[in-house]
Every structure is written in structure tokens, then in C-alpha cells.
Structure 1
Amino acid sequence: MADQQKDQQPISSRRAGRRGLRIAGLSLAAVLLVAAGFGGFAYWKLNHNITSVDLNSLLGSARPPASTNGAFNILLLGSDSRAGANQRKGGGANDGTARSDTAMVVHVEHDHRHASVVSIPRDALVDRPACTKADGSTAPAVAGAMFNSAFEVGGAACAVKTAESVTGLRMDHFVEIDFAGFASFIDSIGGVDVTTTVDINDPQSRLKLTHGTHHLSGDQALAFVRTRHGIGDGSDLGRIELQHQMLKSILEQARSVGLLGNPVKLFKVADTLTRSITADTDLASVNDLVGLSQTLKAIGPDDLTLVTLPVHYAPTDPNRVVATQPQAARLWEALKSDRPVPKDVLRQQPANPADAAHPSTSAAPGPSGRARPSAAARPSASAAAWAVLHR
């Protein structure tokens, strides 16, 4: 979403934005003070809200090496589970399984002031490695499996191992949130604002918006990040662009809600967030989450680069996509070397379907002097091929 920022944004505005995001980054830290005021009950409750997965025991030592310069990676997963409240939110039948409906690799650079977010299309075909399930059994390796199937067959550990195999990067942390959790979190921060220059009418996600700026509730925000029918070319890549826009909107809302001045609201947000996520054991406490928020507090919207993995439709199946080489390999190598996203990857980003008109395909430098991802270039696959990507 960095391409939507103005290059000439006033310095005072940028500083105000960063101050706001620092406040948001310190919100969980303030929860500790609130917890003390409640005699420790709140702190205990928040810690017990969090569900954790011991990735270290499930993945073993056969993993990419961790960075030694302070850079790190987080795998963000959105689960499409229909269990419990998720069935009402997501629709469809509950078959007892879940896939990674959304997958983003977040690379935080060594200075902890810049980050790159790479979305991996869920229908991308990858070589899924053998992995250990939570019950100790083994999910066999499969060539040419959909990326989102890893979470379905082996849970978080298999999703992490597959992401590491595809990217060559160590996933230092992972965070998962489901439909109901995402909607509840959006409601807890007071909703979010989004702007679209085209009308959106998607009977599948049940989202209907006229062009303009709208304040979305949690259910509407969930529909926004899931929609693709009736907008743009109907592709999953377009939906990913909407998810990038939503990420920016969440950052903007976190800046403006004033949590530190409202302890009751602060606790409500923290309670909702901790009940909504599953994380690796190294993040599964309030103290750990506070430490992460402190680490990330200097990263503002202008310091984020959001892109989609370069892909094209699979020669063997027009309903699936595969990584486009050598661009995909160069992207992962750049992040592995703690460098910005390559400019040729930025130039080839798909269009945001919420924009009726798109800027030129050139990657314009942002305020930090780094190239910004463009929203103009269409995907390598035909619009018809993209439109048939399921769900």
C-alpha cells in the first residue's frame, strides 16, 4: 500500500504518523500497568487467552539459519476454519479442516525501521515437505501441492516448514488469526476506514459498497479482505491487494484510537487480540508480545513495502499458479540478504481492484528513498485464468 502514499507528504505529518504508531506499539506495554491496577488478574487473563504451538519441537533443527544481524521474519496466517463462530462469519460447511486463507511473510530489517510484507497466493503450487503434525504423526511430502494445503494437513508447523522451504528464510515467529478473531479485533479498535473508487458488490462475501470512503465494522472488514467477485478481474491477486489496503487501514486506526488514554478500551482490545491469535511459544505471553511491539514501534506506513509473490498460471492447471522465475528467487534472496524488494518485482505487482484508475508502472521512490510497489502492472496470467481461482 506504500504506493498510495504521497511522495511529498509534509515532514510534520510523517512525524505525527510515526508518533501515533509508536503509541499503538506501546499499547500492550500499557496493558501491564492496567493489569497491575487490577491486582494482576488482567495480566493473568491475557496470558491465558493466548493459544501457542511449540514449533521448535515439531520442526527440529533442519531449518534455515536464523539471522545474525537483528533481522527476523514472521509468518502471518489467516485461517479459513469454519469451526464455531467462524461458520457464521465465513459461510460454507464445517468439514473439520482449515487452510491458510491468507499467508504473509513479514521481513523486519536489521534496523527495525523498515519491513517488507510478501503475500503468498493460497493457490500457488509448491513442493510441500514432509512435516510432523501436532499429534506426532507425519504428513508426507507432496510435489505440486497448493500452498494453503500445508496448514490443512499439518497445522501451523507444516505451514511454517513449507514457507521456509519455499522462501529459504527462517520463520522466527508465526501468528494465526481466524475469521471471527479478525472481525472481533476490528470491532474492538472501533472499525476501520477504506476508500474505493469503484462500486463493490460481491454476493459471495456479501459486501456491497458504493465508491467512496466507508467506515467498516468487523464483519464488513472481514468481507472486504475476502472479496474478489464483482470487482476488478475477479482474481485472488486482486483480493490480496485489498488485504494490503486493509493492513494500512488497521495501522491508521491503531494510530488514532487513543488507547493509552482509555484503560478500559485498552484492556478490551488486548483481551480481544490475545483471545483471537495462535502464536509460537516464543510469542505466547503478554511480555513477549510487548517486546515485539517495542521492536516494531518505529515502523510506520511509509516504511512498509507490501508485495505479492510474482506468479503466473500453472501450465498443468489454469486454476492454479506457480512462482515466476527468476523474479521470485531474487525476491527471497533480497530478503535473505536483508535488502529491499527488487525493483523489477515492484514493477510487476497486480492492480488494486478498488482503484478505477491506476498509476504508471514505474516504481516511484517513497519518502525514505526506497522504491515503492506499483499497483499498475497486471498479473502475468490472463484475466480469465485468474478469475477461476477458487473461492
Structure 2
Amino acid sequence: MSKKKAPMSTTRANIERKRKELRHRRRMRFLRFLAFLVVFAIFLVIAGFICMTIYHWGSGIYAEYQIRHEAYLKKQAARAPEIDPKFDGYTNILVMGVDDGATSGPDRTDDAGAPLRHADTIMMLSIENDTGRLRILTIPRDTWVPIPGSSYENRIASLYETGGASLVVLAVEKLLGVSVHQYVTIDMATFAEIIDTLGGIDLYVETDMDYDDPEADLSIHLKQGYQHLAGKDAVSYLRYRSTDLGDVGRSKRQQLFVRALYEEAMQVATIPKIPAIAEILQTRVTTSAEIFDSAHIANVLRHMNREAPEVWMLPGTTAEGDDTIWMPDTQAVGEGIAKLFPSPETTENP
């Protein structure tokens, strides 16, 4: 039997339909390809814009960084003659605990009416860069020193109210014959906050402490014995001045406190508290260190030695006729500094 053939009209219609479908698919493929090109072009434009924005932003930051770094290098180069090369292996930081100033009296305020402040606590922290060993020199606030750039003398604590931290730094460098790399000033309220952030400090209070000074806004009342001191009580312990030992006794208590604080800070439990302490230091503490110096100091602190710091008080005697003044023993100071900062020849040939 022979097969029946489809009508010519039906075959031609199918061919036309398939041709239309093919043309439609080709057109759709072309339109999709065109759409892809448009989207891809838009993406390239946006990506290019973002890249250019990031580039210009980064270039601005880099340029700002370069400007600051060049200014920093110029200042370092200008200060280089003031820094004794024999202290290159150390990071010497002068720490000044600043009081709140007198609360009354027109002669106790500056031009803006703010109370004149004193450097109530003065310590030089010296960190040996290679080993992380810490040495601390406490300087009694009533130490009698020449005023830099003047023919007069005064208590070192009083220099802060007349010339600020920089004047105290100059006086300390002249007194010790040591280069001070950076300084830090901290007020008592901020210091108390740091102690509270650490969770307080355990310390033996060697005697009953009772002292009131309304003018200086001081009210100290601590009992003898081992105690866990919160921030406010820790400040009271540091600022208490007995009638028998005066400023010397306060400096000795500062030494004991620093040892206890160092031991507390080196505990594992302190690690989670570091961010909170760092924030306080960044926002509430005044320092001469710039970002580049801060990076160096942070690196040095990261390698701190766990051994207890060597603490030393400026040697001297009370002045004749005024036992509130501490007169430095120049010879003893020189001998002590030579031990703290031995020369390479001394180290190699003990």
C-alpha cells in the first residue's frame, strides 16, 4: 500500500511556522545578548566609578598619612639633638598625675577661671626595649629644682601650673640627665576610673589614714590592714601625706602601689578588660605621643617582662628650715642613673 502524502498547504504552513519560531528564537537570543551587554556595560561603569572613588579616597588618606609622617619626621629630626643616643635602647615615659587644683581663691585660677593644677604625682617609667624590663623612678612633688629658662627655683609640682607638662619634662631631664621620650598626664578621676575598670587593687595600708582638706577637696579615711581598694580609695592612698614622713612617705607609698598595680595588670584576668582601659586612655589621657610613637610604645608594651619592676625614689634630704622641701642629692642621683642606664662599656666589662 502506498503512503498518503500531506496536503501541500499543510506542509508549507508548518515550514513557515518553524521558520517564524527560529527567527523568534534568534531574535530573543540577540535581545538577551544585547541586554547582557547593556547590563555588563552598566556594571563596568559602576565598578569603575567605585574603583575610582576608592582610589581617590585611598589616595587622599595616603596623602594625608604622608603629610603627617613627613611632619613627624621633621619634628623628630629637629628634636634629635635633644635625645641622648645612649637612651636609644629604652623608652622613657614621664607620667604626671595631675590634681584637681585649688577650689577657691582668685589667685589659684588661670585666665579662663579654671583651677591651677599641680603635678601631684611624678614618675618616670623606663622600659628596656629588648627585654621588656621596667624601671620606675618616683620624684617627690616637693623636689626643689631650677625652673628651666629662668634664674629661679621652685617645687617641681608647681612647674606644671606655670608651664604645663613640657616644662616639667625639661626640669626632669635637667635633674636626671636623662632623655624623656614621651610624657603622659592623667587626672585623678581618670586614674580612679582605670582602677575601677581593673576591678580594684589589693594593698596593705600601713597605718590609719585620716586627712581632710576642703580647699583641695580631699577627704581621706582609710583603716590599717590589707584591703581591696576601689578607684577613689586608691587615689586617697596615693595622695595621703602624713605629718612624720610627708612627701617622702607618699613617694614610698607610690612605689608600693605601682608594684601592686603592675602585678594586677599582668594577671590573665586583665586581658578582657584591656579594650575598656584602652578606650579610657585614648579619650581621657593627654600624651605627647603621636600615632607613630604610640605604635612603637604599644609594641614595646606587648613584650613587657613579667618580673616586678625595679622601683627607685629620687635620693635627697629635706631642706634646712623647711622639711616640706626635698633637696636632691646630686651625686646619689648620678650614681643611681648610671646603674639604671649602664653604658655599653660598663655592661661588657662589669
Q: Per-residue CA shift, 1:183-228, capped at 9, x if unaligned? A: 1111111111111343333334433233221111111111110012
Name 1:334's counterpart in structure 2: 339
Q: Per-residue CA shift, 1:102-152, capped at 9, x if unaligned? A: 11122233543433211111111111212xxxxxxxxxx143222122222
2:125 matches 1:106: yes
More relative contact order, 1 or 2 (CA 8 Å, 6+ apart): 1
Among 139, 142, 146, the residue aligned to 1:120: 139
2:246 matches 1:235: yes
Q: Per-residue CA shift, 1:151-191, capped at 9, x if unaligned? A: 22111211111111111110012111111110111111111
Between the aligned residues of both structures, percent identity stands at 24
Report the secondary structure of 1:307's partner residue.
strand
Name 1:150's counterpart in structure 2: 159
One-letter amino acid of the counterpart of residue 255, structure 1: M
| Structure 2 spans left out of the alignment, 5+ residues | 1-71, 345-350
Name 1:319's counterpart in structure 2: 324
| Structure 1 spans left out of the alignment, 5+ residues | 1-53, 131-140, 340-391
2:76 matches 1:71: no
Change (3 A) 1:145 1:216: same
Change (3 A) 1:290 1:203: same
Change (3 A) 1:292 1:81: farther
Alignment of 1:1-391 (within 5 A): 60=79, 63-67=82-86, 70-82=89-101, 96-109=115-128, 111-130=130-149, 141-204=150-213, 205-229=218-242, 233-256=244-267, 258-260=269-271, 262=272, 265-282=273-290, 287-295=295-303, 297-301=304-308, 304-315=309-320, 317-337=322-342
| 8 Å Cα contact 2:86-2:343 kept in structure 1 | no
- TM-score of the two chains, using structure 2 as the length reference: 0.65
Name 2:69's counterpart in structure 1: none
Report the secondary structure of 2:85's partner residue.
coil
One-letter amino acid of the counterpart of residue 161, structure 1: L
Distance 1:105 1:286 in 2: 17
Distance 1:110 1:284 in 2: 16
Distance 2:158 2:181 in 1: 21
Distance 1:127 1:290 in 2: 33
Q: CA deviation at 1:309?
A: 0.7
Distance 2:242 2:321 in 1: 24
Change (3 A) 1:280 1:102: same
RMSD of aligned alpha carbons: 3.0
Q: CA deviation at 1:250?
A: 1.5
Distance 1:202 1:154 in 2: 30
One-letter amino acid of the counterpart of residue 265, structure 2: A
Change (3 A) 1:283 1:73: farther
Distance 2:292 2:239 in 1: 27
| 8 Å Cα contact 1:164-1:170 kept in structure 2 | yes
Distance 1:313 1:197 in 2: 23
Q: Per-residue CA shift, 1:70-103, capped at 9, x if unaligned? A: 22322111112349xxx7xxxx988532221111
Distance 1:300 1:69 in 2: 22
Name the structure with the higher helix share: 2
Distance 2:151 2:306 in 1: 38
Distance 1:150 1:211 in 2: 34
One-letter amino acid of the counterpart of residue 91, structure 2: F
Change (3 A) 1:240 1:68: closer
Distance 2:96 2:209 in 1: 25
Q: Per-residue CA shift, 1:30-83, capped at 9, x if unaligned? A: xxxxxxxxxxxxxxxxxxxxxxxx9x58x9556241336522322111112349
Distance 2:174 2:195 in 1: 32
| 8 Å Cα contact 1:125-1:321 kept in structure 2 | yes
Larger Rg: 2
